[in-house]
Amino acid sequence: MIARRPVRGETRNTAASRDRWSLLALDGPAQCEGEGSSKVREVEAMAKPAVLFGGPSPEHDISVLTGLQAARLLAEAGAEPLVLYWSKTGGWYRVAADGEAEDYAAGIPPRARELRFEARPQAGWFLKRRRLEVDTVLVCCHGGPGEDGTLQAAMDLAGIRYSGPDAAASNLLMDKLTFGALMAASGFPCLPRVPVGTGDPPDFPPPYIVKPRFGGSSIGIEVVSDYETVVALLRSSPHLDRGAVIEPYLEGGRDLNVAVRTYPRLELSAIEAPVSEQFYDYREKYLSGGGIEGSARELPASLPGEVEDRIRSMARRVTGLTGIRSMARIDFLERDGELWINEVNTIPGSLSLYLWVDPPISRRQLVLDLVAELEVADPRRFSVVGADGMALRGAAAISKKLG
């Protein structure tokens, strides 16, 4: 677990002192809930963390809101974050940590400084010719290349540590078809989910729910009553340009969501039951009630103990199976006590900080723990073992290989 050393004159059991204790990090991997304490070592000096948000994604605006919250929490904790904005057109900018949402409404905020990114060892972000000292990145990008492994792979090449799953797990968890197939093959309860084509309809009856194969936040999701409408959506919706999946619409069902964090140990939040008219869509998540934190929900959800236990058990298993890291939200569907795995949001809106009411953990502490996890992580390392030149020295002329 994370241990925190009181500064002189403070006592460990005071709430006011909790966020001012110096961080000590686990010497070893995160523990599961209920395990004993592990040896700890003090982090000599927390490197200046970067917070990254935005990106060329339909969820760009929500990403900005999440990133600004994380930057503000770190700044208030004295971490002095370096704040990176990824524009809708793919440009990179260094921006202020105390920005407001309206600064980004028209695009690039005032006083932003343009950067460039290089995906090579000892590189990353540059301000003109000067490399920014960015070694750890708290990723707050929702959807698109910021969440599907594209950004993660680029940072791997630059040797940068980042929050969230690695590139492979990010892609797996964003791909609804592949994720659903893995869950079904692993014995989890899942609704049937098939790719949308132009041929025959699926072997389950309507109504159908149509989802982008790669996407999140309920953008582009539609409930339809016939397969002809499904095919028409595939041809017309910009959110389905990389493919779509179709599954039965669960009449009378509801969403149940739980957040998971992997540091300082594997831990689950309270379970929420969002209140929605048909399904928990983008409008209800982000545009009503003042944003995701103000959306209508039951938190903690009132559930039979047996249902809650099954959700928590499945959430732990999914975390271990898929490579979830840092903070994620696992979404379930429920009807009359029956449960189905729906999807995993690897970079959830507002980082799901609002879900940690039981156990009660402050938003500031949650973000500090995300950064502390990066401090004890290792960047990805690539190996050239076996590439010793023998195959090249012994090769025939290329012209002979071409026939």
> What DSSP line would sit under 293-328, residue for residue?
GGS-EESS----HHHHHHHHHHHHHHHHHHT--SEE
**What is the structure's pLDDT at 357?**
97
**What is the structure's pLDDT at 291?**
59
Nearest to 199 by CA among 231, 238, 234: 231
**What is the structure's pLDDT at 28?**
35
Answer yes or no: same fold for 50-162 and 192-249.
no
Below-50 pLDDT ranges, the chain: 1-46
Locate the domains of the chain by residue range. Answer: 50-162, 192-249
**What is the structure's pLDDT at 278?**
58
Q: Please, are residues 330 and 386 in contact by the beta-carbon 8 Å criterion? A: no
DSSP H or E run through 179: helix 176-185
Nearest to 196 by CA among 213, 218, 179, 183: 213
Cis peptide before 207, with omega less than 30 degrees from 0? yes
Q: How many angstroms from the chain centroid is the CA of residue 295? A: 20
Report which residue type is found at 42.
E
Q: How far apart are CA 177 and CA 191, in angstroms?
A: 12
Among 3.30.499.10, 3.30.1490.20, 3.10.180.10, 3.70.10.10, name the CATH number for the domain at 192-249. 3.30.1490.20
Model-level pTM? 0.84
CATH architecture for residues 50-162: 3-Layer(aba) Sandwich (3.40)
Q: Please, are residues 271 and 39 in contact by the beta-carbon 8 Å criterion? A: no
